[in-house]
Amino acid sequence: MKILAADGVSPKGIEILRNEGYEVVVKDKLPADELLAIIGEYDALIVRSASKVTKEVLEAGKNLKIIGRAGVGVDNIDVAEATARGIVVINSPGGNTIAATEHTMGMMLAMARHIPIANETTQKGEWNRKKYVGVELRGKTLGIVGLGRIGAGIAKRAQAFEMDVIGYDPYVTEDRAKAMGVRLASLDDIVAESDFITVHMPLTAETRNMFNKDNLHKMKKGVRLINCARGGIINEQDLADAVKEGIVAGAAIDVFTSEPMPADHPLLGLPGVVLTPHLGASTVEAQIGVSIDVAEGIRAHLKGEPVMTA
């Protein structure tokens, strides 16, 4: 059996597969045309978010039996096409939960206290104590959209900061929300009441542009938004416009509709905006966790054992 890890992955998972006797080829970065050219040789494929597993890739992957996504989101994989071809798609739903949760909290604090720009200017020898006056989290209303593993982790940590946490998630019951210390709210209420809003859901037809010109204009003046989930949930151009209009005081964004982001991206250079290059899952611990999760899933599937599909 031959396995291709196309986007680089922690050696821990690779070790599990090699110990099983499989041949594993690891590429740190594989251009799309190269992936298409070589995929026919492999029985299993491991990807992060960079490689796009399109219909063409699946067509060319004549021997493919399983695709392991070392992470949560499978929006870079044509899951319907893979399923139709009998190729199993697995992911690691919990491996990077803490990493993404902590990155979100870090982004919220960095944005609220102007830490990135204060660091940048201090490093250059400036001393701007008056310019970078921030806001506190305590007493502010945090609207969490999506109360899954990461959303629930944010709720817990935000309560430690004495924030008032409200949440929107059509799949979460009142009892579950209550157990998290979250008051369930409609999306309209989240928009109207929140001082900070953070989104934690996959990108789907329903969530694409969920935050746009219309509801950005209904938010509290001075609202701060965080997106460490998927680019496109908050419309990037509408968000940039709302920052320029003074409606949105801050935006902390880790994910983009197109990654790497283009040099003329509308959010670049705007005051109050903190950007990171899709680092939510980038911790040593998370990368080991997701690598082990997918390796174990692949090993199980290749041995004919049942696996949990994405």
Active site amino acids: 230, 259, 278
DSSP result, 173-194: -HHHHHHHT-EE--HHHHHHH-
Residue 200 sits in the site that holds ligand MLT (CB under 6 A):
no
- Tell me which amino acid residue 271 is: P
Cα–Cα distances in Å, from 67 out to 13, 62, 91, 101, 167? 14, 13, 8, 26, 33
Size of the site for ligand MLT (CB under 6 A): 8
Contact criterion met (CB below 8 Å) for 2 and 42: yes
Give min distance, CB of 149 to ligand MLT, in A: 11
Of the pair 96, 141, the CB lying nearest ligand MLT is at 96
Q: Are 275 and 120 in contact (CB under 8 A)?
A: no
Residue 69 C-beta: closest distance to ligand MLT, Å = 7
CA distance to 69, 102, 157, 221, per residue, from 110 (Å): 30, 12, 15, 20
Helices 97-112 and 115-123: crossing angle in degrees, nearest 10, is 70
Residue 72 touching ligand MLT (CB under 6 A): yes
Task: Please report whether residue 73 would count as binding ligand MLT according to CB under 6 A.
Answer: yes
Task: Give the C-alpha separation, 88 to 139, whole Å.
Answer: 46
Judged by beta carbon, residue 93 or residue 134, the one nearer ligand MLT is 93
CA 269 from centroid of its chain's CA atoms = 22
> Which residues make Cβ contacts (< 8 Å) with residue 143, sequence separation at least 6?
166, 167, 168, 185, 190, 191, 193, 194, 196, 197, 198
Contacts (CB under 6 A) with ligand MLT, residues 44-63:
48-49
Q: Considering only the stretches 23-31, 67-75, 238-246, 257-265, report the one whose residues sit in contact with ligand MLT under the rule CB under 6 A.
A: 67-75
Closest approach, Cβ 48 to ligand MLT, in A, equals 4
Which of positions 74-113 make contact with ligand MLT (CB under 6 A)? 96
Smaller CB separation from ligand MLT, 49 or 227: 49
* Smallest separation (angstroms) from ligand MLT to the CB of 206: 18
Given 8, 61, 68, 71, the residue binding ligand MLT (CB under 6 A): 71
CB atoms inside a 10 Å sphere around CB 308 = 11
- 298 is written with which tokens? 């692949």
Report, in Å, the least distance between residue 12 CB and ligand MLT: 16
Query: Whose Cβ is closer to ligand MLT: residue 72's or residue 182's?
Result: 72
Q: In the complex, what is the shortest distance from the CB of residue 10 to ligand MLT, in angstroms, rounded to a whole number?
A: 12
Residue nearest to ligand MLT (CB): 71
Binding residue for ligand MLT, selected from 61, 280, 289, 297, defined by CB under 6 A: 280
Which residue, 152 or 184, is less far from ligand MLT as judged by CB?
A: 152
Residues of this chain that bind ligand MLT (CB under 6 A): 48-49, 71-73, 96, 280-281
